[in-house]
Every structure is written in structure tokens, then in C-alpha cells.
Amino acid sequence: MARLFGTDGVRGRANDELTAELALGLASAAVRVLGAHALDDEHRRPRVVVGRDPRASGELLEAALCAGLAAAGADAIRVGVVPTPAVAFLTADYGADFGVMISASHNPMPDNGIKFFGTGGHKLDDATEDAIEAAMEAPPIRPVGADIGRLIEAPDAVHRYLEHLAASGGDDLAGLTLVVDCANGAASQVGPQAYAAAGAKVIAIHAEPDGLNINDGCGSTHLGNLQAAVLEHGADLGLAHDGDADRCLAVDSTGAVVDGDQIMAILALSMHERGLLKDNVLVATVMSNLGLHLAMREAGIELKVTGVGDRYVLEELRAGEYSLGGEQSGHIVIPSAGTTGDGVLTGLLLARRVAQTGQRLADLAAAMTILPQVLINVPVSDKHAVAQAETVRAAVAEAEAQLHGDGRILLRPSGTEQLVRVMVEATTAEAAQSIAERVAQVVAAV
């Protein structure tokens, strides 16, 4: 039987794979595992922060989760539509036992997801997720009378989160004009407010969520509109978030994209200069461009590499007590300011670097040279069987021989879809494209 939890919580097509019944069961099981200490204390009930992005199915799943939490004896603190990192922050700020975010991040509207944060707002490890999954098979906890959980509204949630962003991201963006693409998602309210509060002139686009338009041709996975808006308004930079705003990608004043690797390079060099980069270490995943490796090596910064997924970056950051890590996709984690990737905070810090140095974002991003990289998503019937296929192994070996050590090839299964991602880096775009297409054809034939 396939594991219920993927790389970032439980995801699926809402009301089909991810049903109200499943949400109810997950809530009850999570109270049993994550609320165990409170359940053992006769003087209090478990307290759980519940937030969501604005997709329509979030209303259904929120109702089911809150019902499951209350039925298991936990109080649900409803914080409404907020970014995923806000739920992580508020879990700690409210002193809750755990938090739940309802979002499928950058996925299209029909999908949704449920992700949990433990005490203090930290993502769960595999063992804890497995324990929740196992607890779904146990008889449900069903208190009665005064022990039934309650629903608690949290009208101050957004204000608390904005104050946190101001304290962590600074307020020195006066004179900057920036465009922010909110992906019609969870940052549609707090993103523009946070950047304006820091002093920037803000032009918000795709900031009118209707429950159906999240990530629809906008946000961090569709940067064309942001590029056009930056040029139209003569902005200093543009920032793009995904549906739950744990990502940030950027566009410089010329309209060129600045990806997560470049953002990490800019922030790492800034922290290195100020003596804030613990052990001179940056943590990134295997997907990061070789150009980042070369730029960090030249600056005297060690790059530690993890598997794909911000949870693995987080684990390495916590293990070494490091200061900065992230992914090419725009998940950037700064442990001193938060327990998970925060797209709005990343945007604030990036804009702050532009303001403080007086340099264009394009000049700051030039600290690293991006090697040509091609990524092809290949639909497959069994993503876990691909790596074992002899034809695929042979194709990868042939590709590595062709690269002669001047590039690399990486195959990995998607954490949320039946896809295998074929990534190739080479000294020329033509070579990367050719090799990636050839390997992708072999993968597709498995």
C-alpha cells in the first residue's frame, strides 16, 4: 500500500482522492499523535491552528478538519486564509500543540493538500507522519460533554504575522518600486501589505482570489505577466509567490528571471559579509544549478546538498544549526526568522539587499553564472519503477559519458504526481536539451 504522506503532506484531487472523510480521519489521528501530551493533561485540551489558501475546496476541507479536531477533543484556532509560513509562525505564537495548513501550494485549483506542523511550527519527520497514518486505523477518540473541542476564531492572526514579517524583514524599502504577483493565492492580502509597510511602492497583480483562479497562469510558475508588469511600470524588481506563499522568485528591472539559486546566492553573500552565515555554510538540494556550487566555492562558502524537498533542507539546517538554505524553486529558509520557507519574508530580504546596496537586482544576481539546465516532466504509470529499469540505467550512463564531467544528469520521481523529472545540466543549452530529450524518451517507454 502506498504511503499516504508525500514530500509535503497529503495531497490529491479535492473531493476525489482528498475527501472530507479522509480529512476527518487525519484530524482525529493527528490529535492522538501530536496532541498526546495535552490529552494526558486533565486541565487542558489540545490547541490546533488551522489555516488555508483561498481555493474553493479549502472551505470543505477546513470544515471537515475542524470537525475532526473538535470531535477528538481539540480546540481548532481558525486563522482563515493565510500563507503556509503564517500557520507555522502562528502555531508557535499561539502556543498551539500543532498546526494544519490546507493547500496544494503551486498545484492547480482542483488539487488540495493537508500539511501538519508540530509544536513550535516545525514540519514533521517521516516517523511522525507514519505514526499519524497508523493512528488512522485505531478507534477514534470521542470525548463527550465539556470535553468536546471548540472552534476559536483568531481575528488578530494576520496582524500578528505582519508584525513578525516587519520585525524579521526590516522597514527600509523606501524609494523602491516593486511588483508583486500574488498568484491569486494566500499572499493576496498579506504580501502587498507587508511590502508597503516596509516602505516600498507596491503594484499588486493577481491579488483577487475567487476560489477558482489560484495559480491560474500566474504566480511563481508563470512569470510572464510579472515580467511584463515590471517593464510596464519601470519597477526596480518584481516578486512572485505561489498559491500558499512559501516560495518567492524574482524578476529584475530588465525583465530577466532571478531564480531561487540566485536568490540564495545573493542572501548567502550578504550574510557572509556580515558574519551571519553559520560556519560559512549554505544548504541546497540536488536540483540547484552547478553555477551556485561554483559561486559559493569562489566566495569561500560551503554548499551542503540534500534530497529534493524543503523538509530535507530544514532537517539539515536544524542538524547543523545553519543559517540559510533553500531550493531552486524559491523555497528559502532562514531559521533565525522562521521554521519553514517564507516567500514574503524572502521577498522583503531580497528587496532590502537591493535598497541597502544601491545595486540593481541584475547586478546582485550576476554573482553566479547559471549553467544551461533542462527539466522535462515525464508522465509514467509507476514513477518508482523507472529507476530500476535497465534501459533507463543505460541511458543515464550514456548521458554521463557524453557530459565528460562538465555537467550532470538527475532523475527523480515527483513527490505529488505520477511523473519522473529528468534534469540535465551541460555547458551548452543545445547539449542539455538533446540529452534530456533522449533520456526522457527512454523513461516514457518504461
Residues known to be catalytic: 105
* 8 marked as part of a ligand binding site: no
Q: Which residues contact 41 (CB under 8 A, 6 or more apart)?
A: none
Give the Cα separation of 7 and 70 in Å (integer): 27
Indicate the pairing of strand 75-81 with strand 47-52: parallel
CA 80 to chain centre: 19
Grid coordinates standing for 90? 502562528
C-alpha cell at 441: 524518451
Task: Report how far apart the first and last C-alpha atoms of the chain are (Å, whole number).
Answer: 22
Rounded to 5°, the CA angle 199-200-202 comes to 135
Say whether 111 counts as a known binding-site residue: no
The vertex-48 CA angle with 45 and 53, nearest 5°, equals 160
DSSP single-letter state for residue 40: T
- Within 13 A of 10's CA, how many CA atoms are on the CB side? 23
Residue 398, CA atoms < 13 Å, CB-side half-sphere = 12
Helix (H, G, I), strand (E, B) or coil at 130: helix
Known binding site for Mg(2+): residues?
Answer: 105, 242, 244, 246
Known binding site: residues?
Answer: 105, 242, 244, 246
